[in-house]
């Protein structure tokens, strides 16, 4: 039987390419490249494969989610601003069978009122927020555990 390495897709949403420069008092000083490097290192330890994308475009995010079907075992998504208003991203996640974990660097529930509501929360298996860059590591550990249990 062929060995199947579990694959996780990590989607970084709009403006996350500005990490390290954009509002470091909220998002920290790590760059997206720093976070991705940590994710790659942790994925190797966990024995999973990751692919990482960043997009500032809602349609690209939706197409990426659609294309995940049959290609990935789990999605980790920081939909950023799309979290709070994109029914299209929500519907894309709801329309596939790949489980997803929602991630945020900041605690969205301690921020501006409009950030308290996540329209994607009802279609993901869980949400991790408020741990800075470590939110992604926690999500990766959760995803690896989830998909290995399903094997």
Q: How far is CA 73 from CA 53, 86, 96, in A?
A: 16, 23, 11
Q: Does domain 7-150 have CATH number 3.40.50.9100?
A: yes
In our burial notation (b when 16+ CB lie closer than 10 A, e otherwise), range 34-67 reads ebbebbeebbeebebebebebbeebeebbebbee
- pLDDT value at residue 151: 60
Residue-level pLDDT, tens digit, the chain, 151 residues: 344 789 999 999 999 999 888 776 676 778 999 999 999 999 999 999 999 999 999 999 999 999 999 999 999 999 999 999 999 999 999 999 999 999 999 888 887 787 789 999 999 999 999 999 999 999 999 999 999 887 6
Alpha-carbon distance 89 to 108, whole Å? 18
List the catalytic residues. 27, 104
């Amino acid at each position: 039987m062929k060995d199947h390495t579990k694959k996780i897709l990590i989607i970084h949403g709009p403006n996350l390419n500005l990490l390290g420069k954009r509002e470091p008092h909220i998002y920290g000083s790590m760059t997206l490249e720093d976070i991705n490097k940590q994710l790659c290192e942790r994925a190797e330890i966990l024995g999973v494969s990751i692919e990482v994308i960043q997009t500032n475009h809602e349609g690209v995010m939706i197409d990426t989610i659609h294309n995940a079907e049959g290609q990935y075992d789990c999605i980790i998504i920081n939909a950023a601003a799309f979290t709070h208003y994109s029914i299209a991203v929500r519907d894309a996640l709801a329309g596939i069978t790949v489980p997803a974990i929602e991630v945020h660097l900041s605690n969205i529930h301690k921020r501006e009122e409009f950030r308290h509501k996540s329209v994607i929360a009802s279609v993901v298996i869980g949400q991790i927020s408020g741990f800075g860059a470590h939110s992604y590591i926690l999500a990766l550990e959760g995803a690896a555990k989830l998909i290995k249990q399903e094997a």
